[in-house]
Amino acid sequence: MTRRLIAGSLAILLVASCAGAGARDTDRVELLVAAAASLTDAFGDIETAFEGAHPGIDVVLNLGGSSLLREQILAKAPVDAFAPANVAIMEEIRAAGLVSGEAPVFARNTMAIAVPAGNPGGVTGLDDLARPELLVGLCAETVPCGQFTRQVLQRAGVTARPDTREPNVRALLTKVEQGELDTGIVYATDVLEANGAVAITIPEEHNVTTDYPIAIMSATSHPEAAAAFVAFVLSEEGRMLLNRHGFRLP
């Protein structure tokens, strides 16, 4: 019985791996794009559209906290193009001599307060983040999202009482969506994409605008493909897709 179970599971794995291998064309160029977690949905659409226009290129997205991606790139991960959520990080990469050419800003974002559907904590503004009875989540200060959050709170003069500092904005948003947290500060674009979380706008005078730069990595082995991808992100079609996901355009 047990043996048959194991054999069955192995067979399923084998079939699945064969199917996966069959779908992949070995002649295609594999382009590794490291992008900020907040770009997850927008870059997903861009990947689809770009691959449609360039059948010879297979874009592989590595999405994560921008600082984590920076560490990977500094550790010589084979990344072809990089799109972090803040210009400072790109400048660090450039200082390490790893950026090839320009790093144009292709999108802008702002911060927003996210609350679960129904807003059970009755959150109306930044002041509520100081309420001790609420479960408040913020981004870890080591990621851009956390640094922007700190700026926002400073401008509003609010001392937040966080119950967790999530190392990644998506993880934070998920916990707000599930209602495990009463509120949290995330990128405005993220709340637009959220399932069941609602945005509460932060007044312009307290809010910060973040710039998303994109650049080709000097270590890339596919400079043309990387250039094509960057060009596509900056193109009208790319801008349209970014805009659809709530990003402001430069």
**Binding site residues, another protein, CB under 8 A:** 65, 67-68, 70-71, 135, 137, 140-143, 162-167, 171, 175, 178-181
Instruction: Compute the least distance from the CB of residue 161 to another protein, in Å.
Output: 10
**For another protein, which is the closer residue by CB, 35 or 230?**
35
Amino acid at 225: A
Report phi then psi at 157, rounded to 5: 70, 35
CA distance 61 to 36: 10
Q: Name, in order, each residue with C-beta under 8 angstroms of 107's C-beta and a sequence gap of 6 or more.
A: 39, 42, 211, 212, 242, 247, 248, 249, 250
Instruction: Compute the least distance from the CB of residue 160 to another protein, in Å.
Output: 12
State the virtual CA torsion across 148, 40, 61, 219 in degrees, nearest 10.
-20
Beta bridge partners of 216: 81, 100
| Tokens 């590794």 sit on residue | 32
**For another protein, which is the closer residue by CB, 167 or 246?**
167
Instruction: Compute the least distance from the CB of residue 90 to another protein, in Å.
Output: 16
**For another protein, which is the closer residue by CB, 64 or 246?**
64
Instruction: Compute the least distance from the CB of residue 81 to another protein, in Å.
Output: 21
**For another protein, which is the closer residue by CB, 69 or 99?**
69
**For another protein, which is the closer residue by CB, 162 or 213?**
162
Instruction: Compute the least distance from the CB of residue 164 to another protein, in Å.
Output: 3
Instruction: Compute the least distance from the CB of residue 162 to another protein, in Å.
Output: 7
Q: Is 139 exposed, middle or buried (0-12, 13-18, 19+ CB in 10 A)?
A: buried
